[in-house]
């Protein structure tokens, strides 16, 4: 049984296989409409339960379409509508029930411990659809998008992140180690990635580049990423944190330090961390980025269900 919880725990060759499968699958269904099932219907009869403790638009819809296009079915649950966490039912019991009713479990939570607890008690694969510490499905899909646009393996590109050291960045750091690409991060000193993550990078004999000057991070970039300064799980002083990021806005001036054909990506939703001119401009590929999530979720599901070609 294969979970998809943290990119740090997934082998590089499996990540590459997922991306390759998504490319083939996207190409081969160009003439099909949204709800038509892929030719071989590889997940026919399979059932995915999605559970959300936080808001979601893209992750929810992309998993819905992904399992449908593979021939399976899904339901979306809100954890506050279940007994879970209200004293009525333990995670262990809920996990056993989910394992009886379904073939896979996709979970978005505000508590990393819950992910670990579910993992311990489930006998079906679990996918992390965003937790405070990582957002692996987003980042793998973003790598797919970058390779699609740049027509090059990610290992040949300079990737830059301007913004908070959050769940998305943690997964991007893990991906940079697993897929060997150069990652430069621009963020205020106080909001640098956690020591634990930096230690893991070092342990894997890789390097990432962290700057408190965003211009240095953007220098020669092929891709600039950004994300909201205040994430869903952030319980910080919003005013203080927002002020610390004042000089980290992705705008035309910052883009002038990057390579000429540099592209902009953002997982959405967005805040003030990027100017409209960049977000809605020619170099931005955020809509393609969002729509590609369907294709990559499909290959992630196939990986988890042991059906990757």
Residues carrying an active site annotation: 108, 135, 138, 227, 267, 293
Shorter beta-carbon distance to ligand NVA: residue 98 or 172: 172
**Residue 210, both tokens:** 């962290």
Q: Tell me the per-residue interface mask from 227 to 266 with ligand NVA, x by CB under 6 A, - otherwise.
A: xx--xx----------------------------------
CA atoms of 75 and 285, how far apart (whole Å) = 30
Query: 124-163 burial string, b = 16+ CB within 10 Å, else e?
Result: bbbbbbbbbbbbbbbbbbbbbbbbbbeeeebeebbbbbbb
Q: 182 has which bridge partners?
A: 158
CA atoms of 148 and 151, how far apart (whole Å) = 5
Asked if residue 169 binds ligand CP (CB under 6 A), the reply is no
Q: Specify the length of the chain in residues.
A: 309
Q: What residues numbered 33-62 form the site for ligand CP, per CB under 6 A?
A: 56-59
Q: Tell me the per-residue interface mask from 55 to 94 with ligand CP, x by CB under 6 A, - otherwise.
A: -xxxx-----------------------------------
Q: Tell me the per-residue interface mask from 143 to 182 with ligand NVA, x by CB under 6 A, - otherwise.
A: -----------------------xxx--------------
The CA-atom distances, in angstroms, between 143 and each of 133, 146, 150, 163 are 19, 5, 10, 18
How buried is 294 (Cβ within 10 angstroms: 0-12 exposed, 13-18 middle, 19+ buried)? Answer: buried
Smallest distance, Å, CB 37 to ligand CP?
23
Task: Residue 57: name its binding partner from ligand CP, ligand NVA, none (Cβ under 5 to 8 Å by kind).
Answer: ligand CP
Q: What residues numbered 120-139 form the site for ligand CP, per CB under 6 A?
A: 130, 138
The answer to whether the bond into 269 is cis (omega within 30° of 0) is yes
Asked if residue 230 binds ligand CP (CB under 6 A), the reply is no
Interface with ligand NVA by CB under 6 A: which residues?
A: 130, 135, 166-168, 227-228, 231-232, 267
Interface with ligand CP by CB under 6 A: which residues?
A: 56-59, 130, 138, 267-268
């Amino acid at each position: 049984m294969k979970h998809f919880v943290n990119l740090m725990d997934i082998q590089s060759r499996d990540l590459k296989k997922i991306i390759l499968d998504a490319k083939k699958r996207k190409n081969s269904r160009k003439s099909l409409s949204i709800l038509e099932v892929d030719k071989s219907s590889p997940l026919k009869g399979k059932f995915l339960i999605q559970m959300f403790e936080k808001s979601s638009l893209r992750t929810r819809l992309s998993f819905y379409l992904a399992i449908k296009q593979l021939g399976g079915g899904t339901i979306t649950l809100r954890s506050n509508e279940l007994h879970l966490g209200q004293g009525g039912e333990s995670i262990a019991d809920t996990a056993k029930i989910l394992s009886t009713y379904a073939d896979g479990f996709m979970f978005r939570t505000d508590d990393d411990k819950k992910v670990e607890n579910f993992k311990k008690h489930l006998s079906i694969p679990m996918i992390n659809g965003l937790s405070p510490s990582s957002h692996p499905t987003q980042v793998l899909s973003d790598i797919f998008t970058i390779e699609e646009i740049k027509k090059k393996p990610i290992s040949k590109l300079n990737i830059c992140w301007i913004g908070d050291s959050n769940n998305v960045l943690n997964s991007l750091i893990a991906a940079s180690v697993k897929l060997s690409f150069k990652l430069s991060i621009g963020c205020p000193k106080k909001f640098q990635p956690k020591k634990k993550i930096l230690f893991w990078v070092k342990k894997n004999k890789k390097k990432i580049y962290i700057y408190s000057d965003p211009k240095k991070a953007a220098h020669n970039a092929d891709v600039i990423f950004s994300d909201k300064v205040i994430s869903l799980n952030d319980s910080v002083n919003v005013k203080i944190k927002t002020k610390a990021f004042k000089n980290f806005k992705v705008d035309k001036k910052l883009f002038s330090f990057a390579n000429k054909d540099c592209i902009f990506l953002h997982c959405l939703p967005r805040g003030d961390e990027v100017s409209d001119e960049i977000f809605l401009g020619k170099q931005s590929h955020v809509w393609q980025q969002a729509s590609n999530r369907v294709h990559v979720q499909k290959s992630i599901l196939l990986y988890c269900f042991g059906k990757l070609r």
